[in-house]
Amino acid sequence: MSSCSTPLADGLVLDWWTGELGAAEARRVERHLLSCGSCAARAQGLAAVSEGVRALVREGRLPAALSPSVVERLRSEGRRIREYRVAPGGGVQCTVGPDDDVVLARLAADFAGVSRVDLVRRGEDGAEQRLADLPFDPASGELIFSPPVDMLRAMPASVERMRLIAVEPQGERLLGEYTFDHTPWPGRAGA
């Protein structure tokens, strides 16, 4: 592929892709991308990542803390969402159905004054996994976590405990502990 004498910066291409450029600058970028094979190839790589991330979120296959805006978008796209709202100290019986696209654990907590939150997941065997510095919306009063549905479907009946921990300059503080008592859907592999 021919090289480009005036390559577009990666940040500029990203701003174009996300719609963060003014109209005139966007048109300049678009004309360049339609005439330059090497810059277009880089932009196609970005587009492929974007499409891939969208597909993984839509299919509930990406372990991630989600914002309410992402959940609303899933709903507007007609995705089937199974969600469990749990208060601090609470627990819930849970499963994943064959038609579920996305499963959400909605962990309520008081995030007043909190700038960093970690989530600790503890399986029945006592093994712990710590997810550090999760993105969260302090005003929402909950952290929404989406475990991958394909992994949930493969899980046997088991109990998982989650802890939300505020990490502060003076130390750590427990925001809440939540228990998920998982049962496989009848007839599924883990049942």
Partner 1 sequence: MESAPSDRELAVRVAGGDASAEAELVRRLAPRVRLYGLRHLRDASAADDLVQEALVLTLERLRAGRVRQPERLASFVFGACRLLVRNQRRGQRRRGALLERFAGDLDRQAVPDPLRLDAKRLRECLSRLAERERGVLVLTFYAEEPAGAIAARLGLSLDNVRTVRHRALGRLRQCVEGSAA
45 binds partner 1 (CB under 8 A): yes
17 binds partner 1 (CB under 8 A): yes
On whether the CB atoms of residues 97 and 82 are closer than 8 A, the answer is yes
154 binds partner 1 (CB under 8 A): no
Looking at residue 147, the DSSP 8-state letter turns out to be -
- Alpha-carbon span 167 to 94, nearest angstrom: 28
Looking at residue 170, the DSSP 8-state letter turns out to be T
30 binds partner 1 (CB under 8 A): yes
Nearer to partner 1, 24 or 187 (CB): 24
Q: Looking at 93-101, 135-143, 155-163, 179-187, which segment touches partner 1 (CB under 8 A)?
A: 135-143
What is the footprint of partner 1 within residues 157-186 (CB under 8 A)? Answer: none
126 binds partner 1 (CB under 8 A): no
* 102-108/142-146 β-pairing: antiparallel
37 binds partner 1 (CB under 8 A): yes
Q: Which of 156, 135, 146, 184 lies closest to 59 in space, CA to CA?
A: 146
- Alpha-carbon span 184 to 95, nearest angstrom: 6
- Alpha-carbon span 54 to 159, nearest angstrom: 30
135 binds partner 1 (CB under 8 A): yes
Q: Looking at 61-69, 83-91, 155-163, 176-184, which segment touches partner 1 (CB under 8 A)?
A: 61-69
38 binds partner 1 (CB under 8 A): no
CB of 186 to partner 1, least distance (A): 28
CB of 59 to partner 1, least distance (A): 9
Which of 3, 5, 6, 11: binder of partner 1 (CB under 8 A)?
11
Nearer to partner 1, 51 or 181 (CB): 51
| Helices and strands counted in the chain (H then E) | 5, 9
141 binds partner 1 (CB under 8 A): no
Tell me the backbone φ, ψ of residue 27, rounded to 5 degrees. -65, -40
